[in-house]
Structure 1
Amino acid sequence: MPDHRTDKATPSTGHAPRPSGQAAGAIDSPSAGAVRWLIFALCFLVVLLDGFDTAAIGYIAPSLMQEWGVAKPALAPVLSAALFGLAAGALLSGPVADRWGRRLTLTASVLVFGVACLASAFSPDLQMLTVLRFITGVGLGAAMPNAVTLMSEFSPPSRRAFITNAMFCGFPLGAALGGFLAGWLIPAFGWRSVLQLGGVAPLV
């Protein structure tokens, strides 16, 4: 007998679904403009802070070696811990976002890397700093993909690529800003002040 069921799965085309009909109209409506740019500003700041914090450990490394009397090879675990955390956070962010939602996951990610970065400023030794840098990396790794996805969802298809690429500019700007601020903060307040700034800013 012919199958009259209407709940057949739509074949995958390999492309992300696009909003259509009423949803597309809502995204393109003038009333959505203010919300869209507010979300862009927030996501841009998240990516900027991501860039700042990722590069922060490189800026403070010479001061760390001087204060704690360690050689460059001893800093390898600290430098790599955040990278391993980035990978772990990126892998975990998808399933967590699917279960709890992207906005909640993004908010939690920012809190994780903010608190961990702030705590790392008070590390008494390299071992504690390594652990906290890994946790910071987990938050950073989870924040980036969720910020990109959230921004894409609120962008009209005709400008989605431009808006997303513009948001990504926050990462190198954050890294560059970190270098500028580190050059001023470290001589005046010490290396811990860079991590304190990187931790407080996401929590504000």
Structure 2
Amino acid sequence: MENVEQGKSLIKEVIDQKISPYQWMVILLCFIIALFDGFDTQAIAFTAPALLEHFNLQPGALAPILTAGIVGMTVGAMLLGLLGDKLGRRKTLLFCTAIFSSATLLTAFVGNVEQIFILRVIAGLGMGGATPVLLALAAEYSPQRFKGTVTTGVLLALPAGAMFGGLLAAKMLPVVGWQGIYMIGGVLPLVLLIVLYFVLPESLEYMAQKNSVSNVATIQKILNKISPKAVSFTQADLITANPADQSKAKLSILFQNGLARTTAGVWGTYFFNWIAWFML
């Protein structure tokens, strides 16, 4: 237990110092991912009138396609979001970004609405999975006193991306067509994906849970980037709790120990916020 607490405290000590340019970089990258996430989430709404005209459809014909993305996001948030704890925040975020950007780009080349439906489900999986992971990563690299502000700021990138997309579509749709909107929504995050591959770090908390020499070196390297005066981090400081000491995360925990009312409140607020957003 002493090593557990020591490892946690050493990382927390560095993270909780004055926020560094490196930490701002991680937060900004998460913000940009959320921007593209929000843009691609609402891409179908921007292009709906053009799609109706292109495929000669009745207005109601797009209802399944509009719903497909929401269903995909719901499933993605529940399933792919959990991969962050299994595979690491970085790998999961790269995977989810690759999914929604690729599916969005491929939408520009579809030949029928059935293909759009499938691609919107796939894109939704990536978009839904990316959101909780990028919020967690941004929060982990934020000092304790700024976590709430950072999380809120990054989360606001989702509607900001949707609003920016609406303005962009109004100007560019007559020029590039509906296909161009999906190309923009697919190519730009794919370019960002290359940047993320080289500069986005893994979660320090995740690496600290894995007892390996390589993780020690990586943690020390990241801590040095955050603060040149970072303390020395050794393998003895890693979290080495036995599986028996680790409690598995269960959904029921959210309704225990007086958390039921808070959980219901957070879920309700988030649910009705999304209803308002999509209805708008």
Q: TM-score, normalised by structure 2?
A: 0.64
* 1:180-195 to 2 correspondences below 5 Å: 180-195=167-182
Amino acid at match of 1:25: E
Whole-angstrom CA distance in 2 between matches of 1:108 and 1:94: 11
Cα-to-partner distance string for 1:30-70 (whole Å, 9 max, x where unaligned) = 5x612210011100001111111111101100001111100
What is the deviation of 1:76?
1.0
Amino acid at match of 1:179: G
Whole-angstrom CA distance in 2 between matches of 1:98 and 1:67: 43
Instruction: State which of 132, 142, 149 in structure 2 corresponds to 1:162.
Output: 149
Aligned to 1:149: 136
Whole-angstrom CA distance in 2 between matches of 1:182 and 1:174: 12
Divergent runs of 4+, >3 A: none
Cα-to-partner distance string for 1:125-172 (whole Å, 9 max, x where unaligned) = 000010001000000000000000011111111111011111112111
Amino acid at match of 2:174: P
Q: Percent identity?
A: 36
Aligned to 1:27: 15
1:138 matched to 2:129? The reply is: no
Whole-angstrom CA distance in 1 between matches of 2:48 and 2:85: 37
Cα-to-partner distance string for 1:159-191 (whole Å, 9 max, x where unaligned) = 110111111121111011101110122101111
1:46 matched to 2:37? The reply is: no
Structure 2, unpaired ranges of 5+: 192-280
Aligned to 2:79: 92
Instruction: State which of 43, 52, 64 in structure 2 corresponds to 1:65.
Output: 52
Whole-angstrom CA distance in 1 between matches of 2:112 and 2:133: 32
What is the deviation of 1:20?
5.2
Instruction: State which of 166, 190, 203 in structure 2 corresponds to 1:203.
Output: 190
Amino acid at match of 2:163: A
Amino acid at match of 1:69: N
Whole-angstrom CA distance in 2 between matches of 1:112 and 1:172: 20
Aligned to 1:15: none
Structure 1, unpaired ranges of 5+: 1-5, 8-18
Number of residues of Structure 1 aligned to a counterpart in Structure 2: 187
Q: TM-score, normalised by structure 1?
A: 0.87
Aligned to 2:62: 75
